Chains A and B, each alone.
Chain A
């Protein structure tokens, strides 16, 4: 079964480390997402698993079989790794019909026509493109092209499916639909899916595991929940979440956090009593509230902007040099320029070491 192990994998381009000593275990049957900003090495990692890119150093095994080993320079070519790969561009062959595209992997394996037909029909039904057999890729909508690309990679029944930003070329509505479908597909087939994206929402909604990368380095591997609630460091905390997390530098000690310039002085909940010294407070917009009156959990500020967004309102409140993002439900009445109080739900706060950025509370 395809558990994928990457050990000490390095890929350099000249003197640039695209992937920097990566250790990763991708469990069998997982929906494993490599998440990170562009240029973080996620696509390179995926291509190294597929065999389209050769690591500079390291070891990769798929289901116990070594597919790459730099110590002896053993390489298993992509075609022998039994993987499917959905490209960001879909890479549909424009001169072939949908049927020819999907059946290509089978024709390479020289399957008899009958069997080929049956398999192609089945997979086309699975991704709901029955009837498009004779169309050419340019005659299809973006969503249909996406499905054809998926079908082509599913048809061989490979137990490992790799996807490189497959939804990034779809419009917003289709993307949401496809997310649900991919998740369903994963459940149905039980395949191991390795998914690359820079869209944190995509990662959060679909994955069983998320690995966050930046500049070739792995920052955290966790479940989506833990990535959101227990980010390993400031980078991860800032990268995930629909609205950016609020970060404020404070001094902690004696059960309090303080920032004199902001006239901020808040009591720490008991779970954070151990936090001490110069730290960075991270708090998500939904854990802040607009309060009418000052209290022991509030800080005074001025409303900078009010951005209604249907079900919710995004309010930006200026406190000293910080602009805090606050998410309130629809219907709240505040005016720009108005003085207000911001209520901090510190139970859900995260504390980072200001210098290293490391999450202190996760320890």
Chain B
């Protein structure tokens, strides 16, 4: 057998140190050495874990991705009549042709694409503007009531956003163009607002910016709070005024952070479904996400997937640009960690007026809509906003002979089923994704620098690129057939848990990785030195030490799942209905009192859940991840 031999000619001893002349001859290692080396490598805990996770992710994340692309090229059974002479499963360009070449292309693809870009760019710019002002005020000035403002500012990030759409309609609807009952504004003033106020791009942009400003606020306040105030102070010494400093010093320094925040917000909002669905679809104003839903509803799966692919490509491009910006940002060393002074800029006589303006804004973005929803849920007949029209029927009414046979939400068994399902989905998904996140985090942080860990990291990030609605669509197709060893899951609760867990992977992995990174490798090694096995070490050392991260991951997922509408909308069945989906259903059937009441219920649940979680775990949910939309 050939031996690995290393021949050395090296002058090395206890008393001399000549110029090192190494002549190394390495023969190819023998088979035994290679086998041993491989066995040794694969037995390394994080390697083995990585490989297992890799296969799992490929199965649940990558293969759907491939599936979706494949589907757009294969003849679907429902389309046999539309494609003459084709058999099911034949290769075809019919769908692509129809979507982006044929006369239908405008309605099916290019208009939704344009609308998506307009809406997303619109609300991103608006949200960013609000976010800049707000985060600057909170992080850098002596604004009063700061604590309240800081926590009120992130409320839209936690609560579901589509109730805003329902509240908006309650306020602005008119009976002029669209028919239907008048909104509160018309009732109070007698003025019928033009239709573009109630429906279409304008309200969609306005309302989405009310949700996403919280996101930009979170992104930017981190950047603002690390900015060295000496930079501002030296400008003050040279006689610059507040506005000049903000415009000429602060903003330019913040540009990389702003660029990054723009991209992140844009890609996050790209697949948003709830608000465009409530405010766009009734007037045929489609975005990619809503056209996808409507295609799926019409069993035009392949055409729907093309919209999904377009969204993924858009997101990919944005992520690429973002990584370039982040790369460039490293050259900006102004935002330093050490020696940063944080002296607050004084607002002078404007302190209180500014604070009041901010608070009014925050309340009108959160409390006011809730009030509107509550009021409408108490109305017996739509359009009549007088006090005499108020009733508790839609909450607790049990008489099925009035109000078109709808009984109150709180006594409706369907609502209770949905509530039970929602809590169960949140709990199971929370546990599942937190556990997966911790394991992935372990594999990624311990294998840092290796190709395996890198590809695992990237793979776990993939679901971020797939909008929730598209994710639902993919799993809808997949679940109709057995997936390898897994039986067809369509209609089961397990499917909802699976899809929710997979779609939360990017967040779960990120938080799992960061909590694992905080646990020094040495804490683990100290146990190995004494012969502790990997499993024992993980159980007794790693798991307890990442407990907080685990809990935070659980809570965030739990809350996110409670408001997840677009992910589940294509997958639920009557027995697996959850609260957001039920709300959507009511809204689509124009049962405003019920849908508004449900929105309130969900929002309440989320707020209570967040509060309880905060008390229990001491976690700061503001670093979290927004709910579904």
Give the B-binding residues of A (Cβ under 8 A). Answer: 8, 10, 20-21, 23, 50-52, 54, 57, 70-75, 77-80, 83-85, 87, 89, 91, 93-95, 104-105, 108-109, 152-153, 156, 217-222, 232-233, 235, 356-359, 362
Contact = CB atoms under 8 A, between A and B. Distances in A.
A362 B15 contact: yes
Contact of B531 (A70, A80, A153, A220): A80
A109 B531 contact: yes
B530 A156 contact: yes
B523 A74 contact: no
B37 interface: yes
A217 B20 contact: yes
Given A52-B525, A89-B520, A91-B525, A359 B15 contact: yes
B10 interface: yes
Interface stretch (B1-9, B507-515, B576-584): B1-9
Interface in B1-56: 3-6, 8, 10, 12, 14-20, 22, 32-33, 36-37, 40
Contacts of B531: 77-80, 105, 108-109
B20 A78 contact: no
Contacts of A80: 531
Nearest to B39: A73
Nearest to A152: B526
Contacts of A358: 16-18
Contacts of B40: 54, 73, 75
Contact of A91 (B20, B523, B536): B523
A50 B32 CA distance: 24
B529 A52 contact: yes
Contacts of A217: 12, 17, 20
Most buried by B among A83, A85, A91, A152: A91
A116 to B, nearest CB: 13
Interface residues of B, number: 37
Interface in B522-552: 522-523, 525-532, 536, 540-541, 544-545, 547
B542 to A, nearest CB: 10
B12 A23 contact: yes
Given A8-B8, A108-B527, A156-B530, 9 more contacts: A57-B6, A79-B532, A83-B529, A87-B526, A104-B540, A220-B15, A222-B14, A235-B17, A356-B18
A95 B545 CA distance: 7
Contacts of B37: 73
Contacts of B523: 91, 93
A71 B4 contact: yes
| Those 6 A-B pairs whose CB atoms lie nearest each other, nearest first | A79-B531, A105-B530, A73-B36, A91-B522, A91-B526, A95-B544
Contacts of A10: 6
A78 B529 contact: yes
Most buried by A among B5, B22, B528: B528
A357 B17 CA distance: 8
A345 B31 CA distance: 63
Contact of A79 (B36, B520, B529, B545): B529
A72 to B, nearest CB: 6
Contacts of B525: 50, 52, 78, 85, 87, 91
Given A21-B10, A94-B545, A217-B20, A70 B4 contact: yes
Given A8-B6, A93-B541, A95-B545, A85 B14 contact: no
Contacts of B547: 95
A48 to B, nearest CB: 13
Most buried by A among B15, B527, B532, B545: B15
A108 B3 contact: no
19 contacts: A10-B6, A20-B20, A21-B10, A71-B3, A73-B33, A73-B37, A78-B525, A78-B531, A79-B529, A91-B525, A94-B545, A95-B544, A105-B531, A108-B531, A217-B17, A218-B12, A220-B17, A232-B17, A356-B19
Contacts of B10: 21
Contacts of A105: 530-531
Contacts of A109: 530-531
Given A21-B8, A79-B530, A95-B545, A220 B14 contact: yes
Interface string B47-72: 00000000000000000000000000
Nearest to B37: A73
A137 B401 CA distance: 68
Contacts of B36: 72-74
B530 A91 contact: no
Given A52-B525, A156-B530, A232 B15 contact: yes
Contacts of A233: 16-17
Contact of B17 (A77, A89, A95, A219): A219
Contact of B33 (A71, A89, A95, A359): A71
Most buried by A among B8, B32, B522: B522
B20 to A, nearest CB: 7
Contact of B32 (A51, A52, A72, A78): A72
Contacts of B3: 71
B452 to A, nearest CB: 17
B531 to A, nearest CB: 3
A158 to B, nearest CB: 9
Nearest to B547: A95
A87 B520 CA distance: 11
A305 B40 CA distance: 60
A104 B526 CA distance: 10
A162 to B, nearest CB: 9
Contact of B520 (A51, A71, A91, A222): A91
Interface string B338-355: 000000000000000000
Nearest to B15: A232
Given A72-B33, A73-B37, A232 B541 contact: no
A21 to B, nearest CB: 5
A218 B14 CA distance: 8
B15 A21 contact: no
A108 B520 contact: no
B446 to A, nearest CB: 13
A362 B545 CA distance: 54
Nearest to B14: A221
A153 B522 CA distance: 14
A208 to B, nearest CB: 15
A182 B64 CA distance: 61
A80 B531 CA distance: 6
A23 B4 CA distance: 18
Contact of B545 (A20, A78, A93): A93
B134 to A, nearest CB: 36
Interface in B426-468: none
B530 A108 contact: yes
Nearest to B3: A71
Nearest to A54: B40
A249 B329 CA distance: 49
Nearest to B5: A71
Contacts of B22: 21
A89 B526 CA distance: 11
B90 to A, nearest CB: 51
Interface in B149-174: none
A147 to B, nearest CB: 15
B2 to A, nearest CB: 10
